[in-house]
Copies of this chain bind each other. A is one copy, B any other.
Amino acid sequence: MDQRHATALKAAGMKATPKRLAILEMLEAEPGYASPEELWKRLKDRFDRLGLPTVYRNLEELSESGVLSKVIHPNRQLYYYFCSNREHHHHFVCLSCRKVEDIPSCGIEALEHEVSKRNGGKVLSHILQLNGLCGGCADNEEKR
């Protein structure tokens, strides 16, 4: 089951260490995004020694490799999310329960093209994230 993760790590040119595998397992099991510290607290039990910096470092590296994705949060803390979707896509983030849903098509290619054409600039990356309430949380909201 984590042969998948081991393979993903190798593909990203990273060693498949037990801690990295555990981080991936834990995040994959998570229904929503999680912070480095939250993950660390839960992971500590499974290792006699596990430093918080290790969790930070790995989450960042995994996110750079595209194995994990980062959530942009108003409180400016770091949150990560396991997303097996390897296509280009974006996320709808529930502000209430932290669930993250994929948004398949982003339609930004057209915008990028327009920007390049209009001002001669070159678009290197883009950030797109929808924030709101997921189906379940929106329902609960209404019942109040």
Contacts and interface: CB of A to CB of B under 8 A. Distances in A.
A115 B92 contact: yes
B135 A120 contact: yes
A114 B111 CA distance: 19
Interface residues of A, number: 37
A134 interface: yes
- Per assembly, the copies of the chain total 2
Interface stretch (A11-19, A21-29, A36-44, A122-130): A122-130
Chain A binding site: helix, strand, loop or mixed by DSSP? Answer: mixed
A90 to B, nearest CB: 8
A9 interface: no
Nearest to A119: B135
